[in-house]
């Protein structure tokens, strides 16, 4: 394994500062993702996958976080809670990004590319192709690529063209041989075409920009091609809405999406061989500073590596895992379980991707859409997959005359256009579609099914930590509760009335709801643990810990003697292990095959809660960030079943024991990969535990279909 802890950008040699910088902590997280691509123990195409993920993460980081800092810089405002000015943060981001790009280049050029070649997968340079290959590629160029290209020249009659966000381009200097006049031209690499051209053998690939560059003479006939250089532009992609002034939120979001295409440039990526002349021209025309320009070896757009990862080479990837079925099968072979009977019998906890999303959450909504006794379905949709079974089920339910309400959050960053599309489809089917609340994002993951049973009704609920998205449910680790508890059904009814009408109820029976009750209740729970002193215990698993008020409360609990373990996947602004401040707090991060996305909050009940044998468990959609606590609608639910508490305890203890994928945060803010001693991979162990639960179910009930067990075994 390569050295993984070469730098930590949020590190501060002055631990007297109480907070770590959020933006630099994000860079640290991206460094942990990149470390997976550097890990020689991982299968080769998994390393390729993490190179692509790292590239996508960095694109989003610049589009949103760096863009926000540049807006603050232009406005002359903004100082982070850790005391860094905007200029200081931008300088630190520049330095940290350069270090990450150097690490990426070493992994890609020195290890991944040669490793792929040894496996018969070659990322070729155009110059290395033989005559026959070039002839074939030229034929493909003229038939499928040339008709799509639009070269744009810059001269007195043609202003500098708009360069779209994340587009890969060629900057071309052409010269008129008759008069010697030189001109700049831009050629955009078509984003709808694969970024790599696969040669006829399916084993060799050449970058599409290289194929285009080799045929620039066809795009500029009669001109001399002096030079060409690939470049890529990143723009501000955050959505800015004046919601109070919008008469129609749907129309306002559509207009803002069109405006966002023209967001200001925040980063320019160039080929290391680009001339100073072209670099200066691009920097000036894009209104960027020299420090906003990044160069380096290798392709500029590493997201194209997804094309390599998709190759049918199973021996170079992790063994596929088929999620287990979380319910006992029905009577006939292949018949789905009666979910409503199962939920009435006991609360059910499902953890994806170890347990099937299709056979739990999607099946829950599907059965509700078909069941003649179901009267109504209400659901929030934040991000969902393009071909969503849940959207189809909601449409079916509406067409069958059921009352169906869907709150579609149009402001989910990156999914606005998709959400508009399926929202319109829902409306056409007769679903009551609501687009969220002014000033708040609806981030809660909740569904309510109202069913006629006997002389009354029963309300069935799903409350989860992850989106209703079948695609991400295969790669994101998330947890959901299915329950028919009357008090939770009543709470969800009140919450949906708040979301769709004018209700302002805040005294929920069991739910903790942001922005009303979640923050004060979390602070009360932390303070209660502090009152126990050294007998107090807090264990949290979450994505991000940023909010200063929550961090300060955790510091106070630590100073009272409370033992605190935090499993934070990405951003952590708390500084652990500082004497007199946070010496009772440990922070770790797990980065591995599945993206750790669930939020679990545990609070002990005094003596005897060291190993979480007793206490209170909560799951939900909220991280501990100001936006989640104050500017989003979030739902966090207590898990009251002793059996399900045991499941959550198992998850937390397993992740605290991991030493294969775990990193630890030091008092100075540096992240260090833990040494492998026990060899515990929490994700593998939780996967094995899911399969073991199904096997026990089979042993206790021989009528259970054998396919339930086989489905959970690694596919060979």
- Residues 322 and 687: their CA atoms lie apart, in Å, by 10
My answer on whether 408 and 467 are in the same domain is yes
Choose the final residue of a domain: 119, 136, 157. Answer: 119
My answer on whether 136 and 106 are in the same domain is no
Residue 620 near residue 461 (C-beta atoms within 8 A) = no
Amino acid 491: pLDDT: 97
Residue 262 near residue 65 (C-beta atoms within 8 A) = no
Choose the final residue of a domain: 261, 291, 310. Answer: 310
Residue 439 buriedness (CB in 10 A; 0-12 / 13-18 / 19+)? exposed
Q: Is the pLDDT of residue 709 over 70?
A: no
Amino acid 255: pLDDT: 53
Amino acid 672: pLDDT: 96
Q: Is the pLDDT of residue 245 over 50?
A: no
Alpha helices by DSSP H, 504-592? 518-531, 548-559
- Residues 83 and 547: their CA atoms lie apart, in Å, by 15
Within 8 A by CB and 6+ apart from 12, the residues are 20, 82, 575, 668, 669
- For the segment 200-223, the average pLDDT, to the nearest whole number, is 95
Closest CA to 57 of 86, 37, 35, 27: 27
pLDDT in tens, 666-694: 999 999 999 999 999 999 999 999 999 98
Q: Indicate the pLDDT class of residue 409, thresholds 50, 70 and 90.
A: confident
Q: Indicate the pLDDT class of residue 328, thresholds 50, 70 and 90.
A: low
- For the segment 476-505, the average pLDDT, to the nearest whole number, is 91
For residues 231 and 415, the model is more confident at 231
Residue 407 near residue 381 (C-beta atoms within 8 A) = yes
Q: Is the pLDDT of residue 399 over 60?
A: yes
My answer on whether 131 and 273 are in the same domain is yes
My answer on whether 192 and 295 are in the same domain is yes
Amino acid 457: pLDDT: 96
For residues 156 and 338, the model is more confident at 338
Amino acid 361: pLDDT: 96
Q: Indicate the pLDDT class of residue 327, thresholds 50, 70 and 90.
A: confident
pLDDT in tens, 215-228: 999 999 999 999 99
Residue 323 near residue 301 (C-beta atoms within 8 A) = no
- Tell me how crowded residue 715 is: count the other CB atoms within 10 A of its CB: 10
Pick from 123-127, 481-485, 501-505: least confident? 501-505
Q: Indicate the pLDDT class of residue 413, thresholds 50, 70 and 90.
A: low
Residue 254 buriedness (CB in 10 A; 0-12 / 13-18 / 19+)? middle
My answer on whether 184 and 155 are in the same domain is yes
My answer on whether 142 and 114 are in the same domain is no
- Residues 371 and 397: their CA atoms lie apart, in Å, by 9
Amino acid 242: pLDDT: 46
**Domain assignment present for 690:** no
pLDDT in tens, 347-383: 999 999 999 999 999 999 999 999 999 999 999 998 8
Q: Is the pLDDT of residue 612 over 50?
A: yes
Q: Indicate the pLDDT class of residue 243, thresholds 50, 70 and 90.
A: very low
Q: Is the pLDDT of residue 2 over 60?
A: no
Q: What percent of the chain has pLDDT over 70?
A: 89
**Domain assignment present for 370:** yes
Report in angstroms the alpha-carbon separations of 515 from 129, 167, 602. Answer: 60, 38, 21
pTM score of the predicted model: 0.92
CA angle 587, 593, 597 (to 5 degrees): 55
- Tell me how crowded residue 327 is: count the other CB atoms within 10 A of its CB: 24
Residue 9 buriedness (CB in 10 A; 0-12 / 13-18 / 19+)? buried
Helix (H) or strand (E) holding 499: helix 486-500
- For the segment 32-46, the average pLDDT, to the nearest whole number, is 97
Give me the DSSP letters along 195-230.
Answer: SEEEPTTSSEEEEHHHHHHTTHHHHSTTSEEEEEEE
- For the segment 41-59, the average pLDDT, to the nearest whole number, is 97
**Domain assignment present for 706:** no
My answer on whether 305 and 201 are in the same domain is yes
My answer on whether 493 and 533 are in the same domain is no
Q: Indicate the pLDDT class of residue 237, thresholds 50, 70 and 90.
A: confident
For residues 188 and 708, the model is more confident at 188
**Domain assignment present for 329:** no
Q: Pairing relation of β-strands 585-590 and 595-596?
A: unpaired
Q: Is the pLDDT of residue 608 over 70?
A: no
Average pLDDT, the chain: 89
- Residues 216 and 210: their CA atoms lie apart, in Å, by 10
**Domain assignment present for 88:** yes
My answer on whether 105 and 157 are in the same domain is no
Q: Give me the catalytic one of 229, 443, 462, 597.
A: 443
pLDDT in tens, 658-668: 999 999 999 99
| Known active-site residue 158 | no
Amino acid 77: pLDDT: 84
For residues 387 and 137, the model is more confident at 137
My answer on whether 343 and 479 are in the same domain is yes
pLDDT in tens, 247-277: 455 555 555 545 545 579 999 999 988 999 9
CATH classification at residue 149: 3.30.1840.10
pLDDT in tens, 5-33: 456 777 765 545 899 999 999 999 999 99
My answer on whether 661 and 555 are in the same domain is yes
What are the structure tokens assigned to 546, written together? Answer: 């940023």
Q: Is the pLDDT of residue 421 over 80?
A: no
My answer on whether 541 and 671 are in the same domain is yes
Eight-class DSSP state of 439: T
Tally of structural domains, the chain? 4
**Domain assignment present for 242:** no
CATH classification at residue 445: 3.30.870.10
**Domain assignment present for 542:** yes
CATH classification at residue 105: 1.20.58.310
**Domain assignment present for 17:** yes
Choose the final residue of a domain: 453, 479, 505. Answer: 505
Residue ranges making up the domain that contains 67: 1-119
Amino acid 610: pLDDT: 72
The three-state (H, E, C) secondary structure of 51-101, written as one string: HHHHHHHHHHHHHHHHHHHHHHHHHCCCECCCCCEHHHHHHHHHHHHHHHH
Q: What percent of the chain has pLDDT over 90?
A: 75
- For the segment 587-607, the average pLDDT, to the nearest whole number, is 95
Tracing tokens 């104050």 back to the chain, one arrives at: 630
């Amino acid at each position: 394994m390569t050295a993984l802890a070469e730098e930590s950008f949020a590190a501060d040699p002055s631990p007297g500062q109480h907070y770590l910088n959020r933006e630099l902590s994000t860079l640290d997280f991206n460094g942990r993702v990149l470390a997976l691509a550097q890990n020689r123990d991982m299968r080769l195409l998994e390393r390729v996958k993490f190179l692509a993920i790292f590239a996508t993460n960095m694109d989003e980081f610049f589009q949103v976080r760096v863009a926000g800092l540049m807006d603050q810089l232009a406005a002359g405002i903004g100082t982070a809670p850790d005391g860094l000015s905007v200029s200081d943060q931008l300088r630190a981001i520049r330095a940290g990004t350069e270090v990450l790009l150097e690490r990426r280049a070493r992994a890609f050029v020195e290890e991944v590319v040669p490793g792929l070649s040894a496996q018969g997968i070659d990322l070729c340079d155009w110059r290395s192709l033989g005559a026959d290959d070039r002839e074939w590629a030229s034929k493909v160029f003229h038939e499928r690529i040339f008709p799509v290209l639009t070269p744009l020249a810059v001269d007195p009659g043609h202003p500098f063209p708009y360069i779209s966000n994340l587009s890969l381009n060629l900057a071309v200097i052409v010269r008129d041989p008759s008069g010697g006049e030189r001109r700049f031209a831009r050629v955009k690499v078509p984003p709808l075409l694969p970024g790599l051209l696969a040669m006829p053998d399916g084993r060799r690939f050449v970058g599409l920009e290289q194929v285009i560059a080799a045929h620039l003479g066809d795009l500029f006939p009669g001109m001399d091609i002096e030079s060409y250089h690939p470049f890529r532009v990143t723009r501000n992609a955050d959505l800015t809405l004046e919601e109070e002034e919008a008469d129609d939120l749907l129309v306002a979001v559509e207009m803002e999406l069109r405006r966002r295409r023209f967001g200001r440039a925040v980063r320019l990526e160039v080929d290391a061989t680009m001339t100073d002349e072209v670099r200066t021209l691009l920097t000036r025309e894009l209104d960027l500073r020299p420090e906003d320009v990044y160069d380096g070896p290798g392709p500029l757009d590493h997201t194209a590596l997804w094309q390599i990862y998709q190759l049918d080479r199973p021996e170079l990837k992790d063994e596929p895992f088929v999620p287990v079925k979380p319910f006992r099968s029905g009577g006939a072979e292949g018949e789905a379980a009666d979910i409503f009977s199962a939920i009435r019998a006991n609360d059910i906890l499902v953890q994806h991707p170890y347990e099937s999303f299709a056979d739990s959450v999607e099946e829950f909504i599907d059965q509700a859409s078909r069941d003649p006794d179901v009267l109504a379905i209400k659901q929030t949709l934040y991000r969902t997959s393009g071909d969503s079974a849940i959207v189809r089920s909601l449409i079916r339910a509406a067409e069958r005359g059921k009352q169906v309400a869907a709150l579609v959050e149009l402001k989910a960053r990156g999914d606005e256009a998709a959400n508009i599309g399926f929202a319109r489809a829902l409306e056409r089917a007769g679903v009551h579609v609501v687009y969220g609340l002014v000033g708040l994002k609806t981030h809660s993951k909740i569904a309510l099914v109202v069913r006629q049973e006997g002389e009354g009704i029963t309300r069935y609920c799903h409350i989860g930590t992850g989106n209703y998205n079948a695609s991400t449910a295969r790669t994101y680790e998330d947890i959901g509760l299915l329950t028919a508890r009357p008090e939770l059904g009543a709470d969800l009814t009140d919450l949906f009335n708040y979301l769709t009408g004018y209700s302002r109820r805040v005294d929920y029976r069991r739910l903790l709801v942001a922005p009303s009750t979640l923050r004060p209740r979390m602070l009360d729970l932390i303070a209660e643990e502090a009152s126990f002193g050294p007998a107090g215990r807090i264990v949290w698993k979450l994505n991000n810990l940023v909010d200063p008020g929550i961090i300060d409360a955790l510091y106070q609990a630590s100073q009272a003697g409370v033992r605190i373990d935090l499993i934070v996947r990405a951003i952590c602004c708390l500084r652990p292990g500082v004497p007199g401040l946070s010496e009772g707090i440990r922070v770790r991060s797990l980065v591995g095959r599945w993206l750790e996305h669930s939020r679990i909050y545990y609070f002990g009940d005094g003596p005897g809660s060291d190993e979480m044998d007793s206490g209170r468990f909560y799951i939900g959609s909220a991280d501990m960030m100001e936006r989640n606590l104050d500017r989003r609608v979030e739902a966090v639910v207590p898990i009251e079943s002793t059996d399900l508490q045991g499941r959550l305890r198992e998850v937390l203890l397993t992740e605290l024991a991991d030493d294969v994928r775990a990193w630890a945060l030091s008092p100075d803010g540096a992240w260090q990969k833990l040494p492998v001693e026990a060899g515990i991979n929490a994700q593998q162990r939780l996967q094995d535990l899911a399969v073991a639960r199904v096997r026990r179910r089979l042993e206790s009930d021989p009528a259970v279909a054998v396919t339930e067990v086989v489905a959970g075994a690694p596919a060979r």
